[in-house]
Structure 1
Amino acid sequence: MMSAHKYELMFIADPELDERGLKKLTEQYLELVTKEGGSFDEPDYWGRRKLAYEIAGKTEGNYVVVKYTAEPATSDELDRVLNLNESVIRTKILRKG
Structure 2
Amino acid sequence: MPLYEHVFIARQDLSNAQAEGLIEHFGTVLADNGGKLVDHEYWGVKTMAYKINKNRKGHYSYLRTDSSPAAVQEMERLMRLHDDVMRVMTIKVEEHKELPSVQMQKRDEREERRPRRP
| TM-score, length of structure 1 as denominator length | 0.91
1:24 counterpart = 2:21: yes
1:60 counterpart = 2:57: yes
Cα deviation, residue 77, structure 1 = 0.8
SS of the aligned residue for 2:39 comes to coil
Q: Which structure's CA Rg is the greater one?
A: 2
Match of 2:2 among 2, 5, 11: 5
Cα deviation, residue 37, structure 1 = 2.1
Equivalent residues, number:
94
Q: Return the alpha-carbon distance in structure 1 between the equivalents of residues 87 and 17 of structure 2.
A: 19
Counterpart residue number, 2:66:
69
Runs (5+) with no aligned partner, structure 1: none
C-alpha distance after superposition, 1:22-65 (max 9, x if no partner) = 12121111101112222122310110000111111111000000
Larger CA deviation: 23-32 vs 7-16: 23-32
Higher relative contact order (CA 8 A, sep 6+): 1
What amino acid is the match of 2:63? V
Over the aligned positions, Cα root-mean-square deviation in angstroms equals 0.9
Query: Which structure shows the bigger proportion of residues in helix conformation?
Result: 1
| TM-score, length of structure 2 as denominator length | 0.76
Q: Percent identity?
A: 27
Query: Which structure shows the bigger proportion of residues in strand conformation?
Result: 1
